[in-house]
Amino acid sequence: MDATKTFMEVVAGLFVPNSVTILGVTGQAGAGKTQFITPLIKAVAAEHSFPCSSLGLDAFFRLSSLGRKKWIADGAEMGPAEHAYRKNQINWWNFESAQKSLLSLKRGEVLHLTNAYNRQDGGELTGEVLIEPPREGLLVIFEGVAIAHLDGADELMYVHAPSHVRFERLYRRDASRRKSIEEARDRFHLTQDFERHYFPQHWERISCFIDNSAEVPQVLGTIPHEIALT
């Protein structure tokens, strides 16, 4: 991706008439994929009168937040291997369903998901997703941490922010669910451990890097994962 372009120019270049374009938006938890980048992309699309929808990987969580927490805790009683398996975030999502959904959208088909993860309902599986690609074209924002290995994205954007920025954002975001700052840090480190293992395996698939540590996102050149994943 041309680092001389602005973020707005990069987004505008993704609008393809009469076609479904999928933009993968990934990056470490707290980088601002959901709260900052996705709404900004939607705003740019609105300015250009181009249809735009978003789909989060979290819609494909296998279990609710409470169910997942219990599943992990139960695994601790089954031995170290099972506990490690259940703590590994790669096992939390239904990637088969996510992959089928992306390919279905690419074909211009309607996507209707029920019993999806609903953050607004405390992480229960009460959500519903409905995306109907119009004839004039559609930009689909597919966002999440562990999406880099999936097929279907026309562009894969990595959103970067330093660790202290990411932690502060997550701490504020999950204010209603946290019990202590220690619990928040434990959760943050668990997520970082997964991210530092996951992303280097798929770094070559990333086509665009965005610095989202300040108020205005900046398009970057390639960042080595050794630097980005800190």
- Parse the chain into domains and list their residue ranges: 7-228
Report pLDDT for 1: 63
Residue 156 contacts residue 163 (beta carbons within 8 Å): no
Could you tell me where the beta strands, DSSP code E, fall in the chain? Answer: 20-26, 52-56, 111-118, 124-131, 138-143, 155-160, 208-211, 218-220
What is the C-alpha to C-alpha distance for residues 210 and 164, in angstroms, rounded to an integer?
17
Rounded to two decimals, the pTM is: 0.92
CATH fold for the domain made of 7-228: Rossmann fold (3.40.50)
Instruction: Name residue 13's amino acid.
Output: G
Closest CA to 96 of 151, 140, 25, 145: 151
Instruction: Name residue 146's amino acid.
Output: A
* Sign of the torsion angle spanned by Cα atoms 111, 105, 7, 44: negative
Report pLDDT for 175: 66
Across 110-145, b (16+ Cβ under 10 Å) vs e yields ebebeebbbeeeebbbebebebebeeebbbbbbbbb
What is the C-alpha to C-alpha distance for residues 160 and 143, in angstroms, rounded to an integer?
14
Residue spans of the chain under pLDDT 70: 1-2, 175-179
Q: Work out the end-to-end distance of the chain between its first and last CA atoms, rounded to an integer number of angstroms.
A: 23
